[in-house]
Amino acid sequence: MRRLPRPRTLRARLTFGLVVLLAVSCAAVGLAAVVELDGFLTRRLDEQLAQAGTRFPESLEHRGALPDDHDGDEQGDTRRMATGTFGARLLNGTVTNKGLIRGGDPSADLDADLSAADLRRLAAVPVDGRPHTIGLSALHDYRVVASPGRDGDVLMVGLPLEPVQATVHRLELVAGVVFGLALVVTGVAGACWVRWSLRPLSRVAGTAARVSELPLASGEVTLPPRAPDPDPRSEVGRVAAAFNRMLGHVEDALTKRHASEERLRRFAADASHELRTPVASVRGHAELALLHPGPVPAEVTRALERIAAESSRMGEMVDDLLLLARLDAGRPLESRPVDLTHLVLDAVTDARAAGPGHRWGLDLPEDPVTVAGDAHRLQQVLANLLANARLHTPAGTKVTVTLESAQGAARLSVHDDGPGVPEDVRPDVFERFTRAEHRRRPDASGAGAGLGLSIVAAVVEAHGGSVGLESRPGDTAFTVLLPLGEDVSTV
């Protein structure tokens, strides 16, 4: 069985609970009123039966004549009986006489048509002088009293329950209509009242919704105005006050974090800029020393070569750090039409020369794919992705570069069938200085400082695009999405 739908919002639950409680209260009051009225009218009917006595059944025994000991007594006068009064005489469990008063002349109304089942029901009534309720097919429900007669017979008199039942049913109908209208009016009024009472909470929820839409993870953020703080003695007021205090703490934390990030960016940019000159100087002196015409010991030559190589690698690292610092600071990129097809061809050609042991493949569309951006930085994205596939996969691995355009975006994918990216590295693969100790290729060498993929993510994001990774053993793909023909002159 499917479960009944339940209200989800607090306002709906409060209104629903109010209506349910009122409905239960109305039902209890209505039931009590109906039961009490039914009992009261039934007791009145029993009193009428007690007052009627056995006059009517005695008159049935003598067919309208008065008993011998009641001459001149009004006890045998049936003209004062209420309309609908039923009488019967039973002898040895058999109904010998029966009658029903339908009008003012009882002499013409002394016969009542009863079925065999009705006669059996009459015979089954206890002879104890107490009222009992029976159902007669021809006369409906009756309240009857059976008393012993003088001749060993049973005299029975009854009054109809129909007036009592009609009055009770009318009360039920009136109560149902009144209580139904009360429930409808209460539901509408209660919903309005609950809505008015919860307005401060709705404003708190609105403020929370606006805060949830803010880019709290990036840059300086201005939080929306605080939620109105109503009476602090109420539950809603305490919630609003606590929420406002929480927003204040969040704003302070965001301000401090932004200031710290700004100091770190300035430090990285300044340090990278200042390091470029001494690193270039060290590299230049090492290369100059290698050009010395005189005899140089082999150990010195080897040391100078290492100094030149490491200074060159350090220079590249400094350039990468400077690029990331500039991107973090929101420095604008060049925005010109760039043919990605041409960039992919050049990048794969360079990668094939650097990694002849790999198998390189291309899947390019017939028409050029053009985006607006910085050609040099996009070339760097391709170079880093291909270098990542080359350095972290064994020789013989097939690397396929796919370029296509669909739904207003250029989709660039670098796929390889290598061992895959380790599962513990995947969540942070685009973070800076992320380096797996167990690389995809156990004998990988020449790996950088872990900035290549972070530069890919930063440059792609600066172009308004996104980059993702899907990897499992034998199937790894880095996918870059870039908007077609959009201006990215600012970051």
Looking at residue 151, what is its pLDDT? Answer: 79
Give the whole-angstrom CA distance, residue 399 versus residue 388: 11
Looking at residue 104, what is its pLDDT? Answer: 53
Reference 317, options 286, 348, 283, 284; nearest CA is 283
Class of the CATH domain delimited by 215-331 = mainly alpha
Q: What is the mean pLDDT of residues 312-325?
A: 74
Per-residue model confidence as pLDDT tens digits over 254-267: 777 777 767 766 76
Looking at residue 349, what is its pLDDT? Answer: 92
34-64 residues labelled b (16+ CB within 10 A) or e (exposed): eeebbeebbeebeeebeebebbbbbbbbeee
End-to-end Cα, the chain, rounded Å:
56
Q: What is the mean pLDDT of residues 49-67?
A: 70
**Whether domain 336-483 has CATH 3.30.565.10:** yes
Give the whole-angstrom CA distance, residue 404 versus residue 367: 9
Q: What is the DSSP letter of 126?
A: -
Q: Which string of DSSP letters, residue by residue, matches 76-95? A: G-GGGSPTT-EEEEEETTEE
Looking at residue 414, what is its pLDDT? Answer: 93
Indicate the domain borders of the chain: 1-52+163-197, 54-160, 215-331, 336-483
**Sheet (strand 409-416) strand order:** 359-363, 398-406, 409-416, 475-483, 466-472
Per-residue model confidence as pLDDT tens digits over 200-257: 777 777 777 777 777 766 666 667 677 766 667 777 777 778 878 887 787 788 777 7
Residue 396 pLDDT more than 70?
A: yes
Looking at residue 265, what is its pLDDT? Answer: 66
CA atoms within 13 A on the CB side of 180: 6
Looking at residue 50, what is its pLDDT? Answer: 86
Q: What is the DSSP letter of 332?
A: P
Contact between 90 and 96 (Cβ < 8 Å):
yes
The confidence band for 435, taking pLDDT boundaries of 50, 70 and 90, is: low
Least confident range from 1-10, 36-45, 136-145, 447-456: namely 1-10
Reference 339, options 380, 383, 372, 377; nearest CA is 372
For the chain, the average pLDDT equals: 79
Residue 395 pLDDT more than 60?
A: yes
**Whether domain 54-160 has CATH 1.10.287:** no
Looking at residue 40, what is its pLDDT? Answer: 92
What tokens appear for 190 in the block?
């209660």
Higher pLDDT: 94 or 442? It is: 94
Give the whole-angstrom CA distance, residue 185 versus residue 329: 61
Whole-angstrom CA distances from 361 to 49, 341, 410, 479 are 109, 14, 19, 16
Residue 402 pLDDT more than 90?
A: yes
Helix H or strand E segment including 359: strand 359-363
The confidence band for 438, taking pLDDT boundaries of 50, 70 and 90, is: very low
